[in-house]
Structure 1
Amino acid sequence: MTSLVRIYDLATDATETVFETDRLIEAPNWTPDGTALIVNGDGLLFRLPLDAPRLDRIDTGDLSQLNNDHGLSPDGTRLAISDKTRNGMSEIYTLSVSGGSPEALGAPLPAYWHGWSPDGAALAYAGRRDGIFQICTMPASGGDETIVTGGFDHCDGPDYTPDGRWIWFNGEKDGSVDLWRIPVSGGAPERMTDDERVNWFPHPSPDGAHVLYVAFEAGTEGHPRDRDVELRLIPAEGGAPRTLLSLFGGQGTINVPCWSPDARRFAFVSYARP
């Protein structure tokens, strides 16, 4: 296993590899100050400074079975993580960005974090409810869960738009996996892609112009790793997608928000072929 942490520049279409390792690394977030990435690997969480790339472990207390669903609060002071150490199923916790004792959100299990509202007040996540994965929200301080989707066979990957008006997600319906968005204030979801690809993990850019996502080959079930995939960009209000690059990846490539604060670049992970 060789993991390549890479950065794509929208202005130049250039890709830079900033870190390479023989361990499994997944799901880069970009810190709000632009100086580092947050990644996970082997059930642990790391800070990867961009000026001198290395894996600096972040203390997550007794939690050591993190999956790749983690991310930073808008002000950069808190981390949301998803881990199954305590209960055997994925649970959402928050903790200081510098590490420390994680605090459970209190969402029903299982729950997989994916998005933080721009004002920092709410979290969006995927949770299996009555046998189907739905998109849910909850105040970041804990409280009542709101299930915001219905009528899908499977939902995942929710992420907020920077104006806080929409939640984008991938939804499976009638055998097709497309990108959708739903108003945060309530209302019907809108289908944003309609093609033969299996489209996952939409991430609106911080400037509100684009949405980045990973497109699996037609017929792919779920979001497996070690597949030939494409990273695509779609206008925020919908339209024809543009393929930015093809790579060997999938699961772990862009599971979580990965844009640079200035919306000019994004981070992703690709893997060497066996």
Structure 2
Amino acid sequence: MQRRLPVHYVLVLLVCLLAACATPSSPSTPTPPPALQGDTLSGRLLFSRDDGIWLWEGRTARRLINPPVTQPAFNPTGNQIACIVLHAGASDLVITDTAGAMLAQLTRNEPAAPPGSIERVYSAKWAFYPTWLPDGSGVLVSAQIAPPVGDPPADAPLAIVRYDVNGRQQVVFSDANAHLGKSVVLPSGDFIVVRTPLGSDGQQQLFRISNNQATPLPGAPTPAYDPALSPDGTWLVFAVGINGGSDLYAMPANGGSPIRLTDIGSARSPAFAPDGKTLAFLAIPPGGRGFDLYLAEVAIAGDTLQLSPPRRLSTDFAINADGGLTWAR
């Protein structure tokens, strides 16, 4: 039976095949800030658009890193950024400083074969969804560990791979029956990962990886994706696919009863503020032309997590939902 990438991976691959090869750099000219809603954001928040990675700080946003880059992730101290550089048919994991200047390239996935050639398709590799380890010593990514299969080659095996900042790499966990996507690391050292069973009808699931064993996260709905962990490691917020859209849910990080947080129909990509008191996420407002940024206060009482009514910060800014959000002091 032919195995295929999940739909969201296929879309990423098609976009990347059209992208020009480049490395991140600081923009040469200032970029105007987006339209705001009179709210101020504490700390620093990164997000992706088609024109690169943007930094939102205070009441303004500006482009920090030129395209083609996506999926930024602040390290635990907020002084480095892991992100994904898109090539024509491949992607790489890089580390930059907070000004967007390259510090290290941790993968070398772009092949020598010319763009558009079948040789390039079979020799290129992919990396997605960087997540820093709690001590900042390395980054977990969803990375391709073997050549693609199929005719056409629609399946590139994706496992969780650790890349240390000194360049060493190690496959942390692989699953012959599924692709592994975005992950978050628990205080115990276990991690929660988005697992998509192979096959065209596979749905994304939240699994816990412990002692090299993967088990479904107890109580987590399906399909579920975009996991975000609270700063104290006790709560997990994630998106759940509902009737062709999505909304945010919360549950204890070790599993439990899911709590619905939003009723927007398009909410995705949650990220906690460093103090855990605010949640940022993306959603398409009624009549909107793409994803905008929302904020809501977090209230925790016993075994319940709730959000205040969300307030919208940006206007028609077309943020890349799969690029995620990352928030630092």
Matching of residues 122-201 of structure 1 within 5 Å: 122-129=190-197, 131-139=202-210, 142-148=211-217, 152-195=221-264, 197-201=265-269
CA gap of 1:65–1:205, structure 2 versus 1, over 3 A, is farther
- Which residue type is aligned with residue 208 of structure 1? G
* Structure 2: gaps (5+ residues): 1-18, 20-49, 111-123, 148-155, 300-306
C-alpha distance in structure 2 between counterparts of 1:213 and 1:173, whole Å: 17
Please tell me whether the aligned partners of residues 291 and 321 of structure 2 are also in contact (alpha carbons under 8 angstroms).
no
Q: CA–CA distance in 1 between the matches of 2:287 and 2:127?
A: 25
TM-score, normalised to structure 2, is: 0.66
Supply the distance in 2 between the matched residues of 1:3 and 1:37 (Cα, whole angstroms). Answer: 17
Shift of 1:189: 0.4
Residue 128 of structure 1, CA deviation: 1.8
Counterpart of 1:248?
318
Amino-acid identity (%): 19
CA distance in 1, matches of 2:220, 2:184: 21
Q: Which residue of 1 aligns with 2:52?
A: 4
Q: Deviations over 1:129-183 (max 9, x none)?
A: 48321111113xx422121266845210112111222111100234551100111
Query: Which of 258, 262, 266 is matched with 2:326 structurally?
Result: 258
Counterpart of 1:271 in structure 2 is none
Whether 1:86 and 2:152 are equivalent positions in the alignment is: no
Give secondary structure in 2 for the equivalent of 1:110. strand
Residue of structure 2 equivalent to 1:202: 270
Unmatched runs of 5 consecutive residues or more in structure 1: 221-226, 263-274
SS in 1 for 2:313: strand
Q: Deviation digits for residues 7-41 of structure 1, max 9, x if unmatched?
A: 112xx322132222xx4210111122322211101
Which deviates the most, 73-82 or 101-110? 101-110
Task: State the distance in 1 between where 2:277 and 2:208 align.
Answer: 24
Instruction: Tell me which of the two structures has the higher relative contact order, counting C-alpha pairs closer than 8 angstroms and 6 or more residues apart.
Output: 1
Q: Which residue of 1 aligns with 2:65?
A: 19
Match of 1:248, SS state, is coil
Q: Based on CA coordinates, which of the two structures has the bigger radius of gyration?
A: 2
1:134–1:149 CA contact under 8 A, matched in 2: no
**8 Å contact 2:93–2:127 — kept in the other structure?**
no
CA RMSD of aligned residues (A): 2.7
Q: Aligned pairs, how many? A: 244
In the alignment, what sits opposite 1:41? Answer: 85
Query: Residues 245 and 219 (structure 1 numbering): CA distance in 2 closer, same or farther, change over 3 Å?
Result: closer
Q: In 2, distance between residues paired with 1:250 and 1:229?
A: 7
* C-alpha displacement of 1:89: 2.4
Residue 62 to residue 41, structure 1, CA distance change in 2 (3 Å): closer
Q: Name 2:16's counterpart in structure 1.
A: none
1:59 aligned onto 2:106: yes
Residue 67 of structure 1 and its aligned partner are, at CA, apart by 4.0
Residues 151 and 44 (structure 1), Cα distance of their counterparts in 2 relative to 1, 3 Å cut:
closer
- Pair 213,253 (structure 1): closer, same or farther in 2 beyond 3 Å: same
Query: 1:66, CA displacement in angstroms?
Result: 3.0
Higher helix share: 2
Structure 1 position 103, deviation (Å):
2.2
Cα pair 1:198 1:218 within 8 Å, conserved: no
Instruction: Identify the match of residue 75 of structure 2 among 31, 56, 62.
Output: 31
How many angstroms apart in 2 are the aligned matches of 1:250 and 1:78? 25
Q: Does 1:228 align with 2:290?
A: yes
TM-score of the superposed pair, with normalisation by structure 1: 0.78
Q: Which amino acid aligns with 2:95?
A: R
SS in 2 for 1:76: coil
